[in-house]
Amino acid sequence: MAAQKGKDLLIKIDMTGGGSFTTFAGLRASRISFNSETVDITNMASPGGWRELLPETGVRSASISGSGVFVDASTVERAQNYLFTGKAPVFEFYAPGFLIFRGPFMITNLEIAGNFDGEVTYDVTMTSAGAVSAMAPPPPPPPGI
């Protein structure tokens, strides 16, 4: 896979529940991280006193975060609404040429900031609230279309 442009990483939200995704406006940076908790089964009989982990167990989770410039009041209002109501709409983290990660995420953090001599910015964090799937992105359209 060739190098990718960071500006092409997109965070999208399904606003209606019908599978039509809208990109969060004004983002400058976005990130997805995956986590897997372990189950420690170390005991007195563990070889050499080394930690032992129970395979294929534990809780898996993902989080998506983004930061950007406040350019669209409706984007931040939507995020605030989901934060306060505790709903978990379906989000996509779109990494062109790699994968699309899709699943229900709950907005767990929303920060709005600004300096007197600068722009208003926002940071948003979403935590998975169910299974997250990975799928190949659609192929790019042929040249000239």
Our CA dihedral for 36, 50, 47, 41, rounded to 10 degrees, sits at -40
Kindly tell me if the per-residue pLDDT of 144 is higher than 70: no
Alpha-carbon span 25 to 72, nearest angstrom:
6
Question: Are 53 and 41 in contact, with CB atoms under 8 Å apart?
Answer: yes
Burial (0-12, 13-18, 19+ Cβ within 10 Å), 96: middle
The closest of 61, 63, 70, 77 to 126, measured between CA atoms, is 63
At the fourth CATH level, the homologous superfamily of domain 7-37+53-134 is Hcp1-like (2.30.110.20)
pLDDT per residue as tens digits for the range 27-57: 889 999 999 999 999 999 999 989 999 988 7
The larger pLDDT score, comparing residue 96 to residue 36, is at 36
Q: What is the average pLDDT across 94-113?
A: 90
What residue spans define the domains of the chain?
A: 7-37+53-134
pLDDT at site 73: 78
With cut-offs at 50, 70 and 90, classify the pLDDT of residue 26.
Answer: confident
Measure the N-to-C terminal CA separation of the chain; round to a whole number of Å. 23
pLDDT at site 32: 92
Our CA dihedral for 98, 102, 106, 111, rounded to 10 degrees, sits at 30
Kindly tell me if the per-residue pLDDT of 140 is higher than 70: no
